Structure 1
Amino acid sequence: MATPLQTYGLAIAHPQNADKVEDVGALPPEAGNLLTAAFPKLTLAEVNRILTETEGPGGGFLDDGSAFGVYSRVNLYAAAGRAAALSRAKP
């Protein structure tokens, strides 16, 4: 779920990315380090899946299809909540 601060209510600037789900592990593969540092029990594949599942809407003014654009879609708050829950469930 996107937060209002992810889009600031601005119109879609890159319609080709509006309905796409970007695989965070493929386009900016280093993005998973945002969570693995805080949740070392989780694998890079797990945190990339979480980042992909929680990313915000596409097509914003920074989401031009580049790796940088994917970072503009990262909802780190939502992702950290899921990562914490998964990390607690692991031995």
Structure 2
Amino acid sequence: MGVDIRHNKDRKVRCKEPKSQDIYLRLLVKLYRFLARRTNSTFNQIVCALRVSSRARSRILKAGGKILTFDQLALESPKGRGTVLLSGPRKG
């Protein structure tokens, strides 16, 4: 008898397009992807996080980015000007 292998977790899940069918949101995503790819803006090069995995850290630093903690961000930009706060999904 063989061993049954569960293949339902093999697929790599990655967000390729927005779930919303709103054409304006889709145009905004398309424009943002273009600008992120074609400009050397520092907006996409600095990440502030509580924790960063070693793999994510290596990818960010390899791409020429910079990783900050919240206290370093508070020293650089006390009023939060020019920053964007993003929150991921919460478990529970």
With structure 1 as the length reference, what TM-score do the two structures score? 0.26
Highest RCO, 1 vs 2 (Cα 8 Å, sep ≥ 6)? 1
Which structure has more helix as a fraction of its residues? 1
Q: Answer with 1 or 2: which has the greater Rg.
A: 2
With structure 2 as the length reference, what TM-score do the two structures score? 0.26
Which structure has more strand as a fraction of its residues? 2
